[in-house]
Structure 1
């Protein structure tokens, strides 16, 4: 082992010379879920112009016991805390609504959901934020980071990422895993899938192909088979996995958080002003309140108070969605020009002008197209809908399964 460490380095030496003993074992579904980020080996094009944008990022979660992919989140944004929040949302909640949103309702079954008992991930900054760790603790989810410089402790997620990339390498526009394998293959010229089309392909690949393919690590059974068999009780009835009772509370609690006092002008965050009449009882109460926000859309923040979240919009409610990276980008650009916005209105005017220039540059620049692809849509994709309390509540039909 000592010689291998000297010749091969730590990672390869442990992979080839260390004892072949399983470090992570699970005895039931959702006992251990491994999560990691990866950049996809595929050039993606604009849905409108069909010009190349670049490679998207994906955050994946896999169940160690069944090898099912319990959830994922894909975008052009580099991994951040919001990526982790939306991956956990996708992993833990039923996926029927999401399948409808990507036009796959009725075309594929994806019955994988439920609150995990333990999360295993690496030591990246995106996984170590205080609000993520605190929300896991609130929901009884144990967090167990991998030992530093021991990638084999994440073997299941790493292996699946390799499997997924192997399938991606068959798509037009693949970059393969390295330049040597790519050779002279013209990835950008061959690219033809938009992000929405890739999302559809990935859902079909995971839920349709991978989940229904025999897996050597689980006795040549399929991941879907192992998952389904566990949730059938002794009487042959389907049991539900541990369910999230309040999806809104669950997801918002994982978003980035800042502590702010509430004044007569409302909440000030990222030098933007947020106001709603619901803030009136909190004005000048001398308390630092927890304010959650999405890095993808800063037109609204969420005040945590009395065990619930209050939506607080921008003071100027007419503004279209904008992201944190856009805000930082325009401020940096103005500083370079020796300018500083005197008001929010001036800042938004500069932001709109920058967007126009960016969309114009996107016609000829791949870098600009990538930035344009990160712009929030006019209507945010991940809208957290409110509950309509005027409608009667209906319990889950017993024919659908047993809640334990």
Structure 2
């Protein structure tokens, strides 16, 4: 009879992760670094815990971007939320950003030089890759989208294989769910889980920079991804070419956020019962702009400010809550608060009742001796997004974000 360790080893190495199986067909190639990247998502084969009670809250999602030329991972986004166009935008923001500061903030001594705007993105036909936010953001930055042709899985084989590789590595972590229940057997994933979302993010950064990027890659005749990338940069330099860079990663992310169309009132802009105001709006109030004429973007991770587009001067400026004393909230908290008010049969929902409901829910969380798995997950979600060190989520004073390309108007509102 095999021991528990032997059983686990057999599960780990006897069968590979399903996504790591070969995908037959001729995969398109790229001639330069970031000439073409592929993006895809998966749920991580791991149960994580909340950072306060250290109790299990479920499996997170990961969005991964891989550079087809070098097979280096260009960026990733780890979240408790299901895939969305906004999540893709967060992943792309990491792709284009200098990741050295990001690594230093996490105490990781490693090199991750992949930075810049890709020329082309290969994706499947999921709804988030056909969203107006994603298509608009790519068009704004001159990034070509290549949707995977139906019935030709090899077009996405590179990113699917790297996802399979990373998920196989997670099978060594406490709390792994393995590839499926058959592989997991009697292993108790909930009982053994101990990594938080932040801890998993740290582990992924180490796995990418200190293992995957430095390991000979079978798909490139045993070339090492990081060395392949650096050689590609040298070849581009000799040819007088460079990878285009965004002027501001934060502004880059704004181009991928969902759009809301609203009218300007005398007291500001109202979105989902919350009023926003800035002195920068005063000239527009006097002009009495047409109803629904304002194009606004918002980050679902932090509703305490919105980005309003000034078409005449071609830039976005930041507009905060009218009542600056209100706490930052996430879109998920906002939805839960509205649901709570409806369940209480409140006939009228306004800003005061909305924030009162959020305060009440937070107070219940603080005082609860034992919290439900969903409540712990919501608390973790709020803590993760509102304390994010991503430069795209840093608080800035109400100032402009300039753009060189004109922005066209779009539909009234779209899901993030």
Short-chain TM bin: 0.7 to 0.9
Partner residue, 1:344? 351
What residue ranges of structure 1 are gaps of 5+ in the alignment?
1-11, 390-404
Counterpart-to-counterpart distance in 2, 1:42 and 1:214 = 26
Equivalence for 1:77: 81
Q: How far apart, in 1, do the equivalents of 2:396 and 2:327 lie?
A: 20
1:322 aligned to which of 313, 329, 333: 329
**CA-to-partner distance for each residue in 1:339-368, whole Å, 9 max, x for gaps?**
144531121011110122245458342222
Show the counterpart of 2:303. 298
Contact in 2 for aligned 1:323/1:376 (Cα 8 Å)? no
Structure 2 residue 101 is the aligned partner of structure 1 residue 91: no
Q: 1:239 and 1:149, CA in 2 relative to 1: closer, same or farther beyond 3 A?
A: closer
Q: What whole-Å deviation, never above 9, does each CA across 1:89-118 have from its counterpart, x for those lacking one?
A: 0011111221133232xx111111111000
How many correspondences in the alignment? 372
Residue 293 of structure 1 and its aligned partner are, at CA, apart by 0.3
**Moved >6 Å (runs of 4+):** 234-239
Query: What is aligned with 2:64?
Result: 60
C-alpha deviation, 1:380, in angstroms: 4.8
Per-residue CA deviations over 1:53-82 (Å, capped at 9, x if unaligned) read: 211111110111110100011021222232
Between 1:76-85 and 1:380-389, the stretch displaced more is 380-389
Q: Within the alignment, does 1:124 sit opposite 2:113 as a pair?
A: no
| Corresponding residue of 2:163 | 161
What are the residue-to-residue correspondences of 1:1-400 with 2, within 5 Å? Answer: 20-104=24-108, 107-148=109-150, 150-233=152-235, 241-283=243-285, 284-286=288-290, 288-305=293-310, 306-361=313-368, 363-376=370-383, 379-382=387-390, 383-384=393-394, 386=396
Q: Distance in 1 between matches of 2:74 and 2:236?
A: 25
Asked whether the 8 Å contact 1:327–1:351 carries over to 2, the reply is yes
Q: TM-score, normalised by structure 2?
A: 0.83
Shift, 1:379, TM fit: 4.3
What is the Cα-based RMSD across aligned positions, in Å?
A: 2.6
Q: What residue ranges of structure 2 are gaps of 5+ in the alignment? A: 1-17, 400-416
Indicate if the aligned counterparts of 1:341 and 1:347 stay in contact, CA closer than 8 A: no
Residue 382 of structure 2 aligns to a residue whose secondary structure is coil
- Greater Cα shift, 241-250 or 112-121: 241-250
Could you tell me the TM-score, scaled by structure 1's length?
0.85
Number of the residue aligned with 1:4:
none
Question: Which whole-Å deviations, capped at 9, do the CAs of 1:343-398 have from their partners, x for residues lacking one?
Answer: 31121011110122245458342222112211246545443355999xxxxxxxxx
Preserved CA contact (<8 Å) 1:359 1:372: no
Question: Separation in 1 of the partners of 2:65 and 2:197?
Answer: 20
Distance, in Å, in 2 between the alignment partners of 1:322 and 1:275 is 17
